[in-house]
Amino acid sequence: MGAYYSHLKPSTFDSDRVFIYKIKGSTKGSWYVRIKRAGKGKGYWTKGLDCTDERTAWKRAKQYWVEMLTADERGVQFGQTTFSKLFQEFLLKRNFKPDRRARIVHVFTRYFSEYFENMNVSLIDVEEFIKYINWRIGYWDRKEAEGADLPPNKKNKPSANTLKSERQILAQFLNFCKETHVINTVPKLPYDWESINVDVETKKSRGKPLSDKHHASIISKLYKYAMVEEWKAGMSGKEYDKKGKVIAEFKPDPMRYMTHDEVTTYARLRLYYFIVITGNLLLRQGTEATRLRFENIEHKVDPNDERKKYAVIRVLEGKKGRRDPVFTPYGRAYDQVVTWHLIAKSFGVGKPAQHVFGDLEGEYVPAHYHGRMHSRILKRWKLGKHSDGTQVTLYSYRHTAICRRIRKSGWDLIRVAKAANTSALAISTSYADEWMEADKERYTNTFRNPADLESVLDKSEKLQSDIDRKLEELGVV
């Protein structure tokens, strides 16, 4: 094997093909394996064994030899059966919808490539999968301990659904490996986390609704952010003559005051209208909103009252597939839909078949793109956290809008569930606190006769004054 090698030793299991050796002059003294490929003139395969102990070296060398024999039997060149190489082939040869591909690529680049890396796919079994799940659960804690830059939308502990999604991707990849004769069987990867003693979050966390003040601050900032540098020049208002008579009214014209590049300006405007429109219409910010096209919006006028202008929005794709028509509330909510369409048209988009919240070509933009932009700017403005420290996400606006329908609009259970495109059971259980607060008189009024309550409130002026003073001392008013 040449003058550069020392400690050359043939194997006892295949002395013609398998040798272990060390490199002369190496201070580390690690063992290497060299295996002759099957077939004349096919050459050799070599690999460092990362050990100085000969017994361990033979154990690892034999494992590589067995894997090479297995690859030879299947007609696959050994060394091309590593996880990362095969996963990239999987991505090239499989057709996925854009959002599905984006999800798979993200999981691979972030997690799979780091854990499985150059592991031979034939070694992935149930035991290895469970090791991966436990490694995955502690992933962000380790990154934080290492001082790495953490994305604003990361979760310290993945949910059961997140892990189930990653399991599905891995199983899909292993099925591809079976179809291409790299492995014989696909292990049955578990997803009942309790049965394998994996501690994951199974309860869906909805977070908190935004307070009125917090919500108003964000929306105001987003609006000004969308209108870019010359916000003041574009404010709504009225123009008066010298006598104080109104001679003109004007609205913001963002097209006149752009100072940023077109892509940035459009993205800012789109984010603002994405948030306010989906909130007003109780649209889910995922597929329901991002797959919506302008041709799905039908403008209407009430034949009995021309002041009542609205739109009927037909959502064809979403979490639950096609949903019942969505009606825009009268007034500002409808005006925002119309305004956004006009803005889109001024950028050369807005054609019937183009996406309502797409890019400058009218093409689909996934929800996570809007989410990243939203997280970055809220962090910059120090508005990205609820009072309890949890993250404000795009879902927070839908959650807030549903709570407002319950607390302020006086909508009944069935009406809220229908508008939110979810079940009455889900609404009643997930928003139980809001329903109780909306019906607070049922729990705070202990008098059968309403007149008795009014009498007590009228006669308790001193008590009310004392309560106000104490609340002020506590700093809660």
Confidence category of residue 235, pLDDT binned at 50, 70, 90:
very low
Q: What is the pLDDT of residue 310?
A: 84
Tens of pLDDT, residues 286-332 = 888 899 999 999 888 888 887 888 888 888 876 667 777 888 887 88
Output b/e per residue, 393-404; b: 16+ Cβ within 10 A.
Answer: bbbbbbbbbbbb
Which residues have CB under 8 Å from 264's CB, separation 6+?
A: none
**Torsion over CA of 90, 95, 101 and 107, rounded to 10 degrees?**
-20
Q: What is the pLDDT of residue 19?
A: 92
- More confidently predicted of 389 and 423: 389
Q: What is the pLDDT of residue 169?
A: 95
Tens of pLDDT, residues 84-111 = 888 988 988 889 887 788 889 889 989 9
Q: What is the pLDDT of residue 18?
A: 92
pLDDT for 171 beyond 70:
yes
Q: What is the pLDDT of residue 233?
A: 36
In the chain, % of residues over pLDDT 70: 75
Confidence category of residue 334, pLDDT binned at 50, 70, 90:
confident
Token digits of residue 447? 């008098």
Q: 82 - beta bridge partners? A: 120
pLDDT for 387 beyond 90:
no
Token digits of residue 148? 């790495």
Find where tokens 């050994």 sit.
78
**Alpha-carbon distances of 451 from 454, 455, 458, 461, rounded to whole Å:** 5, 6, 10, 17
Q: What is the pLDDT of residue 120?
A: 85
The whole-chain average pLDDT of the chain stands at 79
pLDDT for 231 beyond 50:
no
Q: Residue 337, exposed/middle/buried by CB under 10 A (0-12, 13-18, 19+)?
A: buried
pLDDT for 345 beyond 80:
yes
Tens of pLDDT, residues 175-193 = 998 887 778 789 999 888 8
* The pTM of the whole model exceeds 0.75: no
Rounded Cα gap, residues 363 and 344, in angstroms: 12
Tell me the average pLDDT across 227-236.
Answer: 44
**Alpha-carbon distances of 368 from 412, 438, 446, 458, rounded to whole Å:** 32, 33, 49, 54
Tens of pLDDT, residues 427-471 = 555 555 554 555 555 545 555 676 766 676 666 677 667 767 777
Backbone angles phi, psi at 367, to 5 degrees: -60, -35
Find where tokens 């309403």 sit.
450
- More confidently predicted of 270 and 1: 270
In the chain, % of residues over pLDDT 90: 20
Q: What is the pLDDT of residue 360?
A: 92
Token digits of residue 217? 């601050």
**Torsion over CA of 114, 120, 124 and 127, rounded to 10 degrees?**
-80
Nearest to 7 by CA among 110, 417, 24, 15: 24
**Contact criterion met (CB below 8 Å) for 357 and 274:** yes
pLDDT for 415 beyond 80:
no
Q: What is the pLDDT of residue 259?
A: 46
Tens of pLDDT, residues 364-380 = 998 888 988 998 899 88
Rounded Cα gap, residues 278 and 374, in angstroms: 14
Confidence category of residue 412, pLDDT binned at 50, 70, 90:
low
pLDDT for 260 beyond 60:
no
pLDDT for 361 beyond 90:
yes
Confidence category of residue 258, pLDDT binned at 50, 70, 90:
very low
